[in-house]
Amino acid sequence: MRGMAAVPSYVVMQPTTLCNLDCAYCYLPFRATDRRMPVAVAEAVAASVNPWAASARFSVVWHGGEPLAAGREQLAALMVPFGPEVEHHVQTNATLIDDAWCEFFVAHRMRVSVSVDGPRERNGDRVTRSGRPAYDRIVRGVAALRRHDLPFSALAVVNDPAPGRATELYDYCLDLGCEVLGVNIEETEGVNTRTNAHDPAVVTGFWAELVAAWRRQPRIHLREVEWSLRYAAAVLDGNADDLLPRHLDPIPTVAYDGSVVVLSPELAGFTDPRYGDFSSGNVLTTPLHAILADAAERTTWVGEFLTGVEACRSSCPYFGFCGGGHAANRYFELGRFDGTETEHCRNSKIRLLEGVLEHARNHQSPGA
């Protein structure tokens, strides 16, 4: 894998900067203000995306702020320019989901991923703008999805990977009824400056415990564990080098105003004296495909980041699994893009793989 691809596999769109919640770990800087994406931005993005979607699977991920805070009318208007081949996904805090939203998801064939951190007592960081717990509203939204038989994914942030937490989270998600679970150990990024440093053995134990819980009842696609098992199988088959894509997916995030930040949605909305606003262009003045064609050359920080990826390649034994991604984590943890190891990659790559291996070692059949 070298450099950045010119064509992404998905694009992240910000229909509004507003979020109706005020979670303690949120990285978004403008979540209290409702800056809405005009339809002209969606039209400009669709002009590049529609030809890509005609030749390969392609997704638009509506992200925020809280994307449902834009309202059904606004979201529908933003979706109109996209062709029928484009898959639409939404990442939501679920608190606004009701029957009308479920009908909207069906009508627009929209796939839903909800953010929920496990049982009530693990959602203490998730509060409304007035500081009240959001958990009951999250659960009401999920209940609406289930009433309408809508499949959904869950995304959980774990801020304390203590023993017992992985089993608790997995069992909770079995009851919740999600099809897919993604797990993020809390990250220090954006306006969230809380530390994400943990005892290595505890984090490894968390992932090992999650694998054990999943193996007892493998009814949910467990995103991180499936990645790890695919990598372990490829190593055993001797083709691990073929697993990483040939080029990094640029993952363009299109902010409400049309500005494009590649590789890390978490950088959108920030500025730095060295790197400016991190954007590589604006779709209202330059087509998205043209922005991506030379983003690495025209964007100072992207070139620096690709240097960091090469440093990972030559120094890190986990590169074949990780690919050296995570630009925002480098910036927010190390203050630069050409460094290598971060707490995030220790928590969510290195110890993830170690945890899966620990589980395998602990469950070898006798004599194996």
Interface residue list for ligand SF4 (CB under 6 A):
312, 316, 318-319, 322, 324, 326, 340-341, 345, 349-350
Residues 13, 247: Cα–Cα separation, whole Å: 22
Give the sheet arrangement for strand 253-254, strand by strand.
221-222, 180-185, 152-158, 110-115, 87-92, 59-62, 10-13, 253-254, 259-261, 281-282
Residues 58, 5: Cα–Cα separation, whole Å: 14
Residues 152, 181: Cα–Cα separation, whole Å: 9
Least CB distance from residue 350 to ligand SF4, whole Å?
Answer: 5
DSSP 3-state of 194:
coil
Residues 64, 266: Cα–Cα separation, whole Å: 11
* Residue in the block written with tokens 């960091």: 308
Nearer residue to ligand SF4 within complex by CB, 208 or 350 = 350
Provide the token pair at 211: 């694998």
Q: Which among 157, 161, 159 is positioned nearest to 199, based on CA atoms?
A: 161
Nearer residue to ligand SF4 within complex by CB, 172 or 206 = 206
Nearer residue to ligand SF4 within complex by CB, 41 or 328 = 328
Question: Could you tell me where the beta strands, DSSP code E, fall in the chain?
Answer: 10-13, 59-62, 87-92, 110-115, 152-158, 180-185, 221-222, 253-254, 259-261, 281-282
Provide the token pair at 242: 């073929």
Least CB distance from residue 309 to ligand SF4, whole Å?
Answer: 8
Nearer residue to ligand SF4 within complex by CB, 66 or 343 = 343
Least CB distance from residue 165 to ligand SF4, whole Å?
Answer: 22
- Asked if residues 14 and 268 have their Cβ atoms less than 8 Å apart, the reply is yes
Nearer residue to ligand SF4 within complex by CB, 53 or 322 = 322
Nearer residue to ligand SF4 within complex by CB, 97 or 185 = 185
Distance of CA 242 to CAs 3, 236, 245, 274, Å?
Answer: 16, 13, 7, 36
Residues 260, 351: Cα–Cα separation, whole Å: 32
Nearer residue to ligand SF4 within complex by CB, 36 or 346 = 346
Residues 172, 355: Cα–Cα separation, whole Å: 21
Q: Which among 274, 276, 239 is positioned nearest to 259, based on CA atoms?
A: 276
Nearer residue to ligand SF4 within complex by CB, 171 or 341 = 341
Residues 95, 144: Cα–Cα separation, whole Å: 10
Least CB distance from residue 132 to ligand SF4, whole Å?
Answer: 38
Nearer residue to ligand SF4 within complex by CB, 213 or 302 = 302
End-to-end CA gap in the chain: 35
Nearer residue to ligand SF4 within complex by CB, 218 or 245 = 245
